[in-house]
Structure formats: structure tokens, C-alpha cells
Amino acid sequence: MDNQALQTQLEQGLQQIGLNLPDNAVAQLMHYLTLLQKWNKVYNLTAIRDPQEMLVKHLLDSLAVVPHVSGQRLIDVGTGGGLPGIPLAICYPERQVDLLDSNSKKTRFLIQAKAELKVENSLVLHSRVEAYQPTELYDGVISRAFASMEDMLHWTKHLLADDGVWWAMKAQKDFEDYSKLAGLVTIDEMIDLHVPGLNAERILIKASRCA
């Protein structure tokens, strides 16, 4: 599939998600996809090699959460190749969206991608999550990489402002027993996501500290 066909699929996907982005944002997203493919050959950022699969399973999967995520200061924990953080930063240039990962190859890619894409509203943080102590806490912590909700909450609670929220991207098949989180957090919402071109269930879990 050539770049023009990929861009057409991206634009159709954005329509289905309900995102009306300026042309420069669509161009940035396409450029990011190209960088992900190029660097993946050397840095092994993702097991997915096919550009169309990358578009659906990484880019559109990340973009599906954009209409739902609130907060002016966000951090994507365990961001890997920048998912969903870079798409969020492109779609919301007025918000701060920081990218944290402990893998130096991945953070080197993110620094390069941020420069090439001219993404100004993001910091790349090479750190283990428990070691990172932000000077200003975040309104939202988002991740699509943590193994369990319990681990995510445990490892990231020091990053979140008192009234902040966690956003956990999950596949339905990974359904966990959230009852053991009672007393730790409140599950505010479980949002069904539709990822254009993906025949699989996805959910976004919104959680906040117990009152």
C-alpha cells in the first residue's frame, strides 16, 4: 500500500472517529508513521512491520482515545515508540503531553521524532516510572502498555495530581477483576472504543482516586 492510499485510510479513519484535524496535523501523523517504519528496521520499536497494520493497530488505535481524554498536562507512561502520546500531542498542540520510557533506544527515537515532527508540547523522559519525580503533577496518566491496571496505579500514583485521572487502554480480552481495586480507586467510566479497520474490541478505562 502506497503513502497516498495510507493517507486516504487515515483520513477516513479520522472521520469515523469524529476527529476534524487541520491538514498539517494529518501530515504530521503521516510523517510519524513513516518515521516509525524507518526506525523500526533498526530499533525494533514494534513487532508490526506492515505499514497498513501499523496505521490501524498503532495510529488509529491511539487516535480512537483522543476524543475522550481530558486534562491540560498528560503523561504517557511506557510510551515505547510514542503511542498514544505522539498522536495525542499532535491532536492537542495546546496541551502538554510528556512521553516516558525506560528503554534508551525508544527514547532516542522519540527525541528524533519530536524534532522532525516539530512537536513542541512534549518532553521525552528517559526514566523508570518509579524514579521520575515531576516538578509539577499531571492531570492525567495514560498508558496502553501496562500489564495490569493494578500495576499501573501502583507505579504511577506519585505522578498524578489529587484530582487527576488515569486512562488505561485495554483490549477486552485482557479483562481483569477490577473488584480488587475497590478502596484504591474509583472506576469512573469504561468507554468502548471503535478503531476503524480493526476487528477487535478495545476499551478505555477512566479511573480516579477514591474520595
- pLDDT for res 21: 95
pLDDT for 197 beyond 70: yes
Distance CA 7, CA 27 (A): 9
- pLDDT for res 179: 75
* CATH number of the domain enclosing 127: 3.40.50.150
172 or 62, which is more confident: 62
What residue has cell string 469512573?
188
pLDDT for 175 beyond 70: no
- pLDDT for res 44: 81
In eight-state DSSP terms, residue 55 is I
Distance CA 1, CA 10 (A): 13
Please name the helix (run of DSSP H) or strand (run of DSSP E) that holds residue 191, with its range, or none: strand 185-193
* Alpha carbon distances (Å) from 103 to 86, 100, 116, 128: 17, 9, 20, 9
Q: For the chain, first and last CA: distance in Å?
A: 50
pLDDT for 20 beyond 80: yes
145 or 6, which is more confident: 6
Average pLDDT over residues 96-110: 96
Average pLDDT over residues 162-187: 84
Q: Edge-to-edge, what's the strand order for the sheet holding 138-143? A: 124-126, 96-101, 73-77, 138-143, 160-171, 202-209, 185-193
What residue has cell string 521525552?
124
pTM summary value: 0.95
Please name the helix (run of DSSP H) or strand (run of DSSP E) that holds residue 208, with its range, or none: strand 202-209
Q: How many other CB atoms are there within 10 angstroms of residue 209's CB atom?
A: 16
Q: How many other CB atoms are there within 10 angstroms of residue 179's CB atom?
A: 7
Range of the domain at 80: 3-209
Give 61-84 pLDDT, tens digit per residue: 999 999 999 999 999 999 999 999
**Number of domains making up the chain:** 1
